[in-house]
């Protein structure tokens, strides 16, 4: 995991939601508190979040969006092609970065090692330094409450922010209704 951020995604019954905190750190210094690490892609049909350096995020988001366009929004095909290209690129594969991408049907975690992981439950995924805290909170809240998808993501990220020094409470979310 990276000492960089926390991204949490939840593909629920009514909505697909992704959220992230806003903290950008350099070593033990907070450089920015209100960064946006999540995006909508392919005409608002896909959500994506990134853990890693900011410059890398822009490059990988743009690259993934190109694959989505080439595959006419078919997330599974775009994810596979993107992961192959990311792994084969000598510069990009060395990035310490991860992405989560999702739509109404699928949710994936992607890495430069060529990993394409669909969570076992097919519903909740998290990356970044606070990812373990966020996913634990999300699973507990899902099991023991009736929170809507967006509230569940926000509350889970807030819990992660209470525990992870690289995660703050400046939480942003995006959703596909």
Task: List pLDDT tens digits, range 51-63.
Answer: 887 777 788 899 9
Alpha helices in the chain (DSSP H): 54-70, 75-88, 131-144, 149-163
Q: For residue 89, what pLDDT is reported?
A: 80
- Looking at residue 1, its pLDDT comes to 43
Picking from 61, 4, 60, the residue whose alpha carbon sits closest to that of residue 32 is 4
Contact assessment for residue 129 and residue 3, using Cβ atoms and an 8 Å cutoff: yes
Instruction: Write down the pTM of the prediction.
Output: 0.94
User: Does the annotation count 25 as an active-site position?
Assistant: no
| pLDDT value of residue 142 | 97
What count of other Cβ atoms lies within 10 Å of the Cβ of residue 140?
12
- Considering 5, 6, 167, 173, which one is annotated as catalytic? 5
- Judge whether 110 and 99 are in contact, CB under 8 Å: yes
Q: Are 153 and 138 in contact (CB under 8 A)?
A: yes
* 168 alpha carbon, distance to own chain's centre: 16
How many C-alpha atoms does 177 have within 13 Å on its Cβ side? 0
pLDDT at position 143 over 90: yes
Percent of the chain clearing pLDDT 70 (strictly above): 97
**pLDDT for the residue numbered 3:** 55
Is residue 92 pLDDT above 80, yes or no? Answer: no
């Amino acid at each position: 995991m990276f000492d960089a951020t926390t991204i949490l995604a939840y593909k629920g019954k009514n909505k697909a939601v992704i959220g992230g905190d806003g903290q950008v750190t350099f070593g033990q210094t907070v450089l920015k508190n209100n960064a946006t690490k999540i995006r909508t892609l392919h005409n608002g049909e896909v959500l994506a979040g990134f853990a890693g350096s900011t410059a890398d995020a822009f490059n990988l988001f743009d690259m993934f969006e190109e694959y989505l366009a080439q595959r006419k929004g078919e997330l599974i095909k775009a994810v596979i092609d993107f992961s192959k290209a990311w792994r084969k690129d000598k510069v990009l594969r060395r990035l310490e970065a991860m992405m989560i991408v999702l739509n109404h049907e699928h949710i994936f975690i992607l890495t430069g090692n060529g990993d394409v992981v669909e969570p076992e439950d097919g519903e909740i995924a998290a990356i970044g330094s606070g990812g373990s805290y966020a996913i634990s909170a999300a699973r507990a809240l899902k099991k023991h409450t009736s929170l809507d998808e967006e509230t569940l993501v926000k509350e889970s990220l807030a819990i992660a922010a209470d525990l992870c020094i690289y995660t703050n409470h400046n939480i942003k979310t995006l959703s596909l209704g």
